[in-house]
Amino acid sequence: MRWIVKGLWLLALVLVGATWLVGRGTQAAPRKAEGVAAKVRTGDVVFQTSGSRQSKAIQVATHSPLSHVGLVEVTPEGTFVVEAVQPVKRTPFAQWKARGVKGRLLVMRPQGVEDAAKARAVEEAKRHLGKPYDALFGWGDEAMYCSELVRKAYATGAGVEYGRMERLGDLDVAGLRREIAERYRGPVPVDLELVTPASLAADARLAVVYSDFPRAP
């Protein structure tokens, strides 16, 4: 009888241990990325055509379909995009992709930058989480617009400045003066310097990893 009781205790311990291991393994297993999400890496720069109200104006001014940009962060919990919208936030990659026009996106990867530096750039971008979107495209840190967030994150986190600063007056804003004047409630600030998604994408130090745009943007 004592032998039977001892055997039952051993069986119970084995079953409890097996259950714990299965549960632990299930909890620790990272979510498997699929499709383009499996191609991206932390620090990649991702572009899309936004469906926002100002997207068309950005496309016209820059002669590019790229009107929004963010930074990829790959974690055991999933893949995310750190982006400056309202407010600056961390969006699941699949949700971010689906939000773009026709779900299209361009993925570009910094060349000659160590993974640790890319990770620091992402952490720098995350430092601005919760800040409001800068609809006036200023260069202060109290609010952020999308391409400003990416440029500043890499400048501070990795010591690399992507894209180039351009004067608003040098962009193709001739047909947008009314909209711009309404936004600024006054004359168009032609000397305002800003960085655009198109300028970031044109930087030769960023290499294309993936694109499903019908032609190279």
Q: Which residues contact 90 (CB under 8 A, 6 or more apart)?
A: 73, 80, 81, 82, 83, 126, 129
- Number of domains forming the structure of the chain: 2
Same domain, 96 and 54: yes
Same domain, 121 and 175: yes
Establish if 174 belongs to a structural domain: yes
Q: What is the pLDDT of residues 144-202, one digit of tens each?
A: 999 999 999 999 999 999 999 999 999 998 878 888 888 888 888 999 999 999 999 99
Whole-number Å distance between alpha carbons of 143 and 180: 19
207, 108 in Cβ contact below 8 A?
Answer: yes
Residue 11 has pLDDT above 80, yes or no: no
* The dihedral sign for the CA sequence 139, 140, 146, 150: positive
Same domain, 95 and 167: yes
Same domain, 146 and 90: yes
Same domain, 128 and 205: yes
Torsion, Cα 111 113 115 121, to 10 degrees, reads -110
Same domain, 18 and 125: no
Per-residue model confidence (pLDDT) at position 33: 52
CATH number at residue 196: 3.90.1720.10
DSSP code, position 1: -
At 212, the amino acid letter reads: D
Establish if 134 belongs to a structural domain: yes
Same domain, 25 and 45: no
Q: What is the pLDDT of residues 83-124, one digit of tens each?
A: 999 999 999 999 999 999 999 999 999 999 999 999 999 999
Q: For residue 89, list its beta bridge partners.
A: 83
Same domain, 39 and 2: no
Same domain, 6 and 100: no
Establish if 129 belongs to a structural domain: yes
Per-residue model confidence (pLDDT) at position 20: 35
Establish if 216 belongs to a structural domain: no
Considering the chain, what percentage of its residues have pLDDT values greater than 90?
A: 71
Same domain, 80 and 169: yes
Same domain, 125 and 166: yes
Full-model pTM: 0.83
Establish if 90 belongs to a structural domain: yes
Establish if 153 belongs to a structural domain: yes
Same domain, 17 and 91: no
Establish if 168 belongs to a structural domain: yes
User: Which range of residues forms the domain containing residue 119?
Assistant: 35-211
